[in-house]
Amino acid sequence: MYIFLILGILSLLSGIGLIYWINRRRFYRRNVAGLEGFSSFEASLFIRFIERIGKWLAYALILFSLFLFYLHSLEKERIEDKKQRIEMSDKASKIETN
């Protein structure tokens, strides 16, 4: 039952951590003028491309975590409903025996 909750929390933290890490790298790449400094043009293209893919992956992880939280709430409702039906059937069987 709690597997959805645990996976949701882990994917949410991973997504937020990935966004933080990418933004932190961008921040420390900036020079005094506020421009990002790269060793070459190719490095600039490659790093920005990888960071863009990383951000999309982070957003996907966050959306996946929201989906897992939703599944967890559905599973929790299903279990509570099942418990309630069992309790009602137990009460009904006790009334019938009396």
Region of 34 on the Ramachandran plot (φ > 0 left; ψ -120 to 50 alpha; else beta): left
The band of 98, judged by pLDDT with boundaries at 50, 70 and 90, is low
Alpha carbons 6 and 12: distance in angstroms, whole number: 10
Segment 52-66 shows an average pLDDT of: 97
Alpha carbons 25 and 7: distance in angstroms, whole number: 27
**Per-residue pLDDT tens digits for 14-39:** 999 999 999 999 999 998 888 888 88
pTM of the model: 0.80
Q: What counts of helices (H) and strands (E) characterise the chain? A: 2, 0
Please give the C-alpha separations between residue 23 and each of 5, 40, 54, in angstroms, as whole numbers.
27, 20, 11
Segment 64-90 shows an average pLDDT of: 90
For residue 21, which phi and psi values (nearest 5 degrees)? -65, -40
Does the structure show a pLDDT above 80 at 42?
yes
Segment 30-56 shows an average pLDDT of: 92
